[in-house]
Structure formats: C-alpha cells, structure tokens
Amino acid sequence: MASEQVKNSAFDTEAASCLVKELRHTVLAGKTKSYEWRVSQLKGLLKMVEERDKQICDALFSDLSKPEMEAFIHEIVLVKNSLKVSLKKLKEWMKPEKVKTKLGTFPSSAEIVPEPLGVVLVISAWNYPFLLSVDPIIGAIAAGNAVVLKPSEVAPAMSSLLKKLLEEYLDNSAVKIVEGGVSETSTLLEQKWDKIFYTGNGRVARVVMAAAAKNLTPVVLELGGKSPVVVDSDVDLTVTARRIIGGKWACNNGQACVAPDYILTTKQFAPLLIDSIKRELLKFYGSDPLNSPDMSRVVNSNHFSRLSKLLDDDKISGKIVHGGQTDKSELKIAPTIVLDAEEDSLIMNEEIFGPVLLIVTIDRIEDGIDFINSRSKPLAAYIFTNKKQLKEDFVSNISAGAIVINDISLHLMVDTLPFGGVGESGMGAYHGKFSFDAFTHKKAVLRRSFLGDAPARYPPYTAGKLRL
Ligand code: NAD
C-alpha cells in the first residue's frame, strides 16, 4: 500500500505566489480565452484518458483496491462523457446570449457575455480521486480559466499520477498541479483566487470558505452528509435490494458522497427488506465478502478506525443484524447492516461513508419525510415506492441536492442535471453546462448608439418631467 503522506516540502508561500502570478500572466495575455485553446486542452485530456486508462485503473487499485469495472464505469467513463459533452457543446456555451431590452433604453440591444473568471483553485477528495479532480478541471478549462489542482493526499498513487499525466498532456503555463496535504492546501488558500472549487467534508469547507472570504472569492463546495433512502412496502423487493447494494457497496464500498447512509422503512417491512438485501449480497459477493475481489477496501487506517468506532459503540450493541466482520491488516469491513441504533449513537449522527448501512424503522412510511426534514439537508434523498402521491410529496417536501425515485446515485450520470448540495451538503453545482457556468462570469452588456437621448432623464427635474 502506498504511503498516505504526499509532502511537497518546497511548496511555501513564495512558491504559491509565483505559481499564481505565472497563471495570471497567462490569463491576462489572453491565452486561455480562445475557443481553440480550450478545445486543444479538452482534447488533450481525452487523449490522456484514452491512452492511460490502464495506469489510471492501477492507481485506483493501489489507493483503494477499486475493482477495474468500478474504476472504468464510475471514473473513466464519466470523465470521458464530460469531455465529449464539453467538446460538442462548447461553441454553443461560449456564445453571448441576446436578451430583450426595455422601452426606457430604446434604441438598444443587450446580451449576456460568458467570461472566464481567471485563475481558479480545485481541491479534490480521495474517494473518486480521478473523477473528482479531472471533472472540475474540465469545467474550468471549458470556461477559459487557468487552474491549479490540489489532489487529495489520502489517495497518493492517484495524486502523483495526476501530476505526471496532467503535466504531460496539458498546457503547463495554464494548468498546474500541487501535491500535498493540509500544509500545502493552507498555503494555496492564502493566495487570491477567482474561484475555489472544493470537494470534501463540511469541517474543511468552513476553512476554505473563511479563506475565500478574505478576498471575496466565490466558492463551490461539494460536500456530503447522511443521504437517506425511504423504502415503501409496495416495491419490487429484489430490484430495490439490488439497487441499494449497487449504490452502496458496489460504489467504492460505501465511500461515496451519494451512497445511501440510512434506510427508512416500516417496522413490519424491515425484516423482508433485510432478508432481501442479505440474499442479494450473497449472490454478489459470496459467503466470504472480506475476500471478494469485487469490493474496494477502506482507504486507510484512519478511516478504518473511524468506521470501527462506529461499530464498537455501546449504543449499537446487539443491533448489527448482518456482517460486522473486519480485517484490519487488509483494511476490509464486510457489508454490515445495523438496525434501529439508538438516537444518540455515533452512527445515527455522523456520516458513515463506508460499508455499513443503517436501517431506521418508522411507524408509517409517510413519517420518513418528517424524519429527513428534522436533520441536515442531504446531498441526495432516495425513495422506492409505487405510490404516485408519496413520490410527489417526497419531491415537493424534501430539500436535498438531488432526489432520485426508485434508484440510487444514477442522477450523477445525467449531465443535464446539476450536481451539488444544499445547506450542509454544499453550495453551487457542476456537470455538463453547470460546470461551464460554475467557472464563468455572466457579464451583462447593454449597447446603445447616440440616438434616443430623451431630455426627460436629465436635470432640471421639473414637475412636468416627474409626471412623464
Ligand atoms: P480528503 O481528506 O481528501 O479532503 C479533501 C481535501 O481537503 C483534500 O485535498 C485535503 O488535502 C484537503 N484538506 C484536508 N484538511 C484540510 C485543512 N485542514 N485545510 C485545508 N485543506 C484540507 O476528503 P474527505 O474530506 O475525507 O472527503 C470525504 C467527504 O467528502 C465526505 O463528507 C463526502 O461525502 C464528501 N464528498 C463529497 C463529494 C461531492 O461531490 N459532493 C464527493 C466526494 C466526497
């Protein structure tokens, strides 16, 4: 296993300041603004993904034991799709949008001109370390910005691969990669940026936002939280169980921001649902899931201890109804289900972000909405039901980054939908055109000639003018 520490000892405030100066120079020279430059960089990224997919998979395996299939579907294919959409639509996105004017400005015309923000910082997280680094860069480049990427030190193999590959395939005068952890990120945050795009947890997001506030820098914060799944009793049980497993254990072993954190279902239905999940888990991962090649491991020993603490909590004693086996030396935890943990247990209050699924029983399925609303706004909220009214109530009464009905996580494949949180789960959004917009200033332009110079708008302000 590669070391968790990625340290960049030469990176101090002076180095950071030089780096930003160089990028600002590139931007001010107008290099990143042209359509041709943007396309050349996006094509460079596409070439990189196509030529180096094996190395990308290897780094994901080294950092997370991520199965090759997941590496492809969840990281490589999503990045390729983002690139293809951006290349196809870029001309259209860059076009100024003509808008209507008012009688009071006649004769005039108006347009909204998309303009690059300048020099932007992308700080990414470890769980999808390729996707979460490259996808925001696609938006930043498409929008005509220079960019610094700070990959996560918690995925060191991907961090160093990204440095190597991005330097090889992209224009180094406009795209830079700074490896490192808290120290390097803090140094970067002292600089003045035109946007900071941060993916990670809410505690660090507050540090990022406080640093950004000093320079009035806008931020996108892609955070997480406890994403709930309401499961009604009228569902197709097998399909529901398979989709829950698909979105939980088959997505980086639960280490995914949109993974189901807890299920809300009725007391009567819970045993049927649990049996069905157990049955499908057995089919997917066999009777010895700790040794299944189809499941990622826990990323490192810190996260392993964090998850072990959730399971060792006295407040959930006797509540583990499935799994619970661990292998510390291999950083593996079997798919585990906890039923009806106490309200003040750790697992009820902290984001799980790992292979443990919590089930909370409620009296009536409709109570699920109040339960979710009594907590922080989640990044995603899911419901499995056939009831039309329940679906409508869920959509109109739950505030979440996204809502998916009868499936898990698939919304992030739909590039016409914004991907982002609300409240504690974040602010701002990206994917498809939303990525371009996240790194663009929409400049208002009003054009007039010297005609139509109405005297009524100028002093002296006579009573007659007031009545016009
Ligand atoms: P992490 O540990 O990789 O940290 C994220 C980034 O913050 C890293 O680049 C790291 O170097 C930097 N960082 C850490 N501490 C810092 C500090 N004190 N000051 C400045 N920078 C610092 O990732 P994580 O936070 O463990 O990520 C998991 C969290 O991210 C979960 O809450 C998850 O739900 C969320 N997440 C959200 C999304 C999304 O798209 N919304 C995606 C992935 C993860």
The question of whether 257 is a catalytic residue gets the answer: yes
Please report the pLDDT score of residue 3 as a whole number: 41
| Active-site residue, selected from the candidate residues 75, 153, 184, 222 | 222
Site to substitute for ligand 1 among 75, 204, 262, 430, most atoms within 8 A of C-beta: 204
**Which atom number of ligand 1 is nearest to the Cα of residue 208?**
20
Residue 378 in contact with ligand 1 by CB distance below 6 A: no
Q: Where are the alpha helices (DSSP H) in 143-252?
A: 156-169, 182-189, 202-214, 237-247
Site to substitute for ligand 1 among 63, 64, 127, most atoms within 8 A of C-beta: 127
User: Which residue has its alpha carbon closest to ligand 1 atom 19?
Assistant: 182
| Ramachandran angles phi, psi of 358, nearest 5° | -100, 140
The question of whether 92 is a catalytic residue gets the answer: no
**Which atom number of ligand 1 is nearest to the Cα of residue 421?**
41
Helix (H, G, I), strand (E, B) or coil at 195: strand
How far, in Å, is the centroid of ligand 1 from the Cα of 427?
15
DSSP-derived letter for residue 414 is -
How far, in Å, is the centroid of ligand 1 from the Cα of 101?
44
Tokens 């663009």: give the residue: 440
Please report the pLDDT score of residue 7 as a whole number: 61
Token couple for 276: 């069905």
Per DSSP, what are the bridge partners of residue 443? Answer: 113
User: Which residue has its alpha carbon closest to ligand 1 atom 42?
Assistant: 257
Residue 377 in contact with ligand 1 by CB distance below 6 A: no
Please report the pLDDT score of residue 446 as a whole number: 98
Residue 379 in contact with ligand 1 by CB distance below 6 A: yes
Euclidean distance between CA atoms 423 and 440, whole angstroms: 23
Please report the pLDDT score of residue 1 as a whole number: 37
Please report the pLDDT score of residue 48 as a whole number: 98
Euclidean distance between CA atoms 64 and 300, whole angstroms: 8
DSSP-derived letter for residue 288 is -
Residue 136 in contact with ligand 1 by CB distance below 6 A: no
Of 225, 237, 445, 184, residue with least CA distance to 349: 225
Per DSSP, what are the bridge partners of residue 113? Answer: 443
Contact indicator for 347, 306 with CB cutoff of 8 Å: no
Of 203, 208, 93, residue with least CA distance to 150: 208
How far, in Å, is the centroid of ligand 1 from the Cα of 139?
19
How far, in Å, is the centroid of ligand 1 from the Cα of 155?
11
Euclidean distance between CA atoms 5 and 22, whole angstroms: 27
How far, in Å, is the centroid of ligand 1 from the Cα of 433?
24
Q: Using alpha carbons only, how large is the chain's radius of gyration in Å?
A: 25
Per DSSP, what are the bridge partners of residue 83? Answer: none
Helix (H, G, I), strand (E, B) or coil at 228: strand
Please report the pLDDT score of residue 464 as a whole number: 84
Which residue ranges in the chain fall short of pLDDT 70? 1-7, 9, 468
How far, in Å, is the centroid of ligand 1 from the Cα of 300?
14
Contact indicator for 143, 440 with CB cutoff of 8 Å: yes
Angle between helices 237-247 and 270-285 (to 10 degrees): 60
Please report the pLDDT score of residue 463 as a whole number: 85
Euclidean distance between CA atoms 339 and 323, whole angstroms: 12
